[in-house]
Amino acid sequence: MMSGERISRKDGVAMALAAALFGAYLAVRAIHLPLIQDEANSFWWYVATGRFLPLDSHLDAGNHHLSSFLGWLGYSLFGAEPIALRFGSLLAFALYAGSLIRITTYLRSGTVRWCCFLALLTCPFLHEYFALFRGYGLAVAFFVLAVLQCVKLIESRKPINAVWLIAASTMAALANLSMLPLCLVMVAGTAILSMLGGVVPARTVQRILVAAAALASFAVFILLALVSMALKDQGLLYHGGGTGLLAVSVNSLCQAIVGWSASKLPIVCAVSAIGGWLVALNALYRKQPESRALVVVGALLGTECIIRIALQKILGVNYPQDRAAFQMLILFLLLASFAIDELGVCAASAKASAASFLVLPIITLSGLNTEVAMNNGEPAVPRRFLNRLAQRQLELGRPIVAAVGSNLRSGVSFAQFRDAAFIQESEDQRFDYPGQDFRIVRDTELHAALDGYHAVDSSAAGWVHLLERDTPLSLSLAFDSTLIAPLELGEGFRNILERSPGRFGKRALYVRITGNLYRDHDHGELHFVVHDDYTDGAAYEDGTDLRKLRLQWAGEPFDVMRRLPAAEVVEGMRCFFWNTTSMPVRMTDLRIRIYVTAQADPLSGT
pLDDT digits (tens, 9 = 90+) for 546-593: 998 998 899 999 999 998 887 765 677 899 999 998 888 999 999 999
Q: Region 348-361: what's the mean pLDDT?
A: 93
Predicted confidence band of residue 325 (pLDDT cuts 50, 70, 90): very high
Predicted local confidence at residue 201, as pLDDT: 65
Task: Check residue 104 and give its pLDDT.
Answer: 97
Closest CA to 557 of 601, 603, 516: 516
What does pLDDT average to over the chain? 90
pLDDT score, position 124? 95
Q: Is the pLDDT of residue 365 over 80?
A: yes
- Among 110-114, 532-536, 600-604, the minimum mean pLDDT is found in 600-604
Percent of the chain at pLDDT exceeding 90:
67
Task: Determine the average pLDDT of the residues in 420-441.
Answer: 82
Element (H, E) at 547: none
State pLDDT tens for residues 41-97.
999 999 998 999 988 888 998 899 999 999 999 999 999 999 999 999 999 999 999
Fold of 383-469: D-Maltodextrin-Binding Protein; domain 2 (3.40.190)
For 277-303, what is each residue's pLDDT tens digit?
999 999 999 988 889 999 999 999 999
Greater pLDDT, 501 or 503: 503
pLDDT in tens, 468-496: 999 999 999 999 999 878 999 888 999 99
Q: What's the pLDDT score for residue 63?
A: 92
How many CB atoms within 10 Å of residue 506? 14
Give the pLDDT of residue 2. Answer: 47
Point out which residues pair with 531 in neighbouring strands. Answer: 541, 574
CA–CA distance, 254 with 257 (Å, rounded to integer) = 5
Comparing 374 with 282, the larger pLDDT belongs to 282
Mean pLDDT to the nearest integer, 205-222:
92
Task: Give the dihedral sign, CA 406/407/408/409.
Answer: positive
Domain limits, the chain:
1-134, 153-237, 241-346, 383-469, 475-597
User: Higher-confidence residue: 536 or 418?
Assistant: 418
Q: What is the pLDDT of residue 371?
A: 81
Higher pLDDT, 403 or 140: 140
Q: Categorize the per-residue pLDDT at 16 as very low, low, confident or very high, splitting at 50, 70 and 90.
A: very high
Q: Is the pLDDT of residue 1 over 50?
A: no
Task: Report if pTM > 0.85.
Answer: yes
Per DSSP, 431 falls in state -
Cβ density class 391-400: b for 16+ within 10 Å, e for less:
ebbeeeebbb
Choice between 443 and 1, residue whose per-residue pLDDT is larger: 443
456 band by pLDDT with thresholds 50, 70 and 90: very high
Residue 39 DSSP label: H
Task: Please give the CATH topology (third level) of the domain spanning 475-597.
Answer: Jelly Rolls (2.60.120)
Separation of first and last alpha carbons in the chain:
76
pLDDT at position 226: 94
Q: How confident is the model at residue 216 (pLDDT cuts 50, 70, 90)?
A: very high
Say yes or no to pLDDT of 535 above 90: no
| Tens-place pLDDT, residues 230-245 | 998 888 876 788 899 9
User: How confident is the model at residue 600, as a pLDDT?
Assistant: 62
- Secondary structure of residue 599 in the 3-state scheme: coil
Angle CA(186)–CA(187)–CA(191) in degrees, nearest 5? 120
Provide the pLDDT confidence category of residue 388 given band limits of 50, 70 and 90. very high
pLDDT at 202 over 80: no
Whats the size of the chain, residue-wise?
606
